[in-house]
Amino acid sequence: MFQPLGFEQRSIITSLGRMVYYTATGSIWQNDAIAHSRSVPEGTSAAPEAIAKGDRETLVFLHAFGGGSSAYEWSKVYPAFASEYRVIAPDLIGWGKSEHPERNYQIEDYLTTIREFLEQTCTEPVTVIASSLTAALTIRVAIAHPNLFKSLILTTPAGLSDFGEDYSRSFFAQLVSVPIVDRLLYSTGVATSNGIRSFLEQRQFAQPSRVYQEIVDAYLESAQQPNAEYAALSFVRGDLCFDLSLYIQQLTIPTAIIWGQKTEFTGPGIGRRLADINPQAIRIFQHLEDVGLTPQLELPAVTIGLIRRFLPLLN
């Protein structure tokens, strides 16, 4: 699986199996800090955050759902924070290198395993940076367990059945609900290089020219993991979708939202309506022109800049 330089793979055990995550090894992120601490003139002191890794705040990056999704989705963004923060980015259960139980995944599976991951990897409230339906699920975890969270920075947080829309009744969701047909569609239309490139260019990105081969290869490797179809088909059938507007009023964690104006599935109008329900918690709503569902892949430098801007405003 594609892994940024200076990061290593670790794992925890959740109630649904082993969950892999990526975190900085320290080999290239801390040497400068150590050298700096040794060169501080006598009688002065280095900044504590430059010396003590344990003092660093934690940023958790959670990827979206879709054929071939994994922590790779944030891999062009999270290394930018590794010298200042403790960074962790998991492959959620059913995706990437994490375990792929043979089951029809339900909303509760991800509410539970996201909570378990935070409880096992973080000792203090953290900032979670999450995408799409996973971001919407993270809002529900934050409502139920606010003690785990310091702030939220979310790209396109949507339940995909918001304001009474029922995605599971759509033609494609109904088609994927047909046994045998679902596996055939996955193997021939999703878990192929052409299928992934076509989806990225036509549905996920605003500008097809921003899709390069490494992105396709990373999605393809994840999509072809054994039993990868179970989580992907649960998502496409609509088993994981819900109406976020019924929950978002209960959110108390300071939150910023980034929304691509050309998001194929849920336009910025949906995002603004969701944000307006709870302006006390949702303090920032930033829409981006000429960007699709995943600004973290399409315009990573802009996404990094926005996260840097939002962190002090929220915290």
Tell me what the mean pLDDT of segment 196-211 comes to. 95
Residue 143 confidence (pLDDT): 98
pLDDT at residue 88 tops 70: yes
Residue 311 confidence (pLDDT): 98
Percent over 90 (pLDDT), the chain: 77
Residue 302 confidence (pLDDT): 98
Residue 1 confidence (pLDDT): 60
Which of 180, 182, 211 lies closest to 196 in space, CA to CA? Answer: 211
State pTM to two decimals.
0.91
Tell me what the mean pLDDT of segment 187-197 comes to. 90
CATH entry, 7-314, from 3.40.1790.10, 3.40.50.1360, 3.40.50.300, 3.40.50.1820: 3.40.50.1820
Query: 37 falls in which pLDDT band (50, 70, 90)?
Result: very low
Token duo for residue 175 = 């088609």
Tell me what the mean pLDDT of segment 169-192 comes to. 76
Residue 40 confidence (pLDDT): 39
Tell me what the mean pLDDT of segment 199-216 comes to. 96
Cα–Cα distances (Å) from 74 to 87, 128, 186, in that order, read: 11, 12, 24
Residue 46 confidence (pLDDT): 35
Sequence-distant (6+) residues with CB within 8 A of 189 are 195
Boundaries of every domain in the chain: 7-314
Average pLDDT taken over every residue of the chain: 90
Query: 315 falls in which pLDDT band (50, 70, 90)?
Result: confident
3-class state of residue 28 by DSSP: coil
pLDDT at residue 87 tops 90: yes
Query: 44 falls in which pLDDT band (50, 70, 90)?
Result: very low
Query: 47 falls in which pLDDT band (50, 70, 90)?
Result: very low
* 223-265 residue pLDDT tens: 999 999 999 999 998 999 999 999 999 999 999 999 999 997 8
Sequence-distant (6+) residues with CB within 8 A of 86 are 23, 24, 53, 56, 57, 58, 59
* 54-77 residue pLDDT tens: 578 999 999 999 989 999 999 999
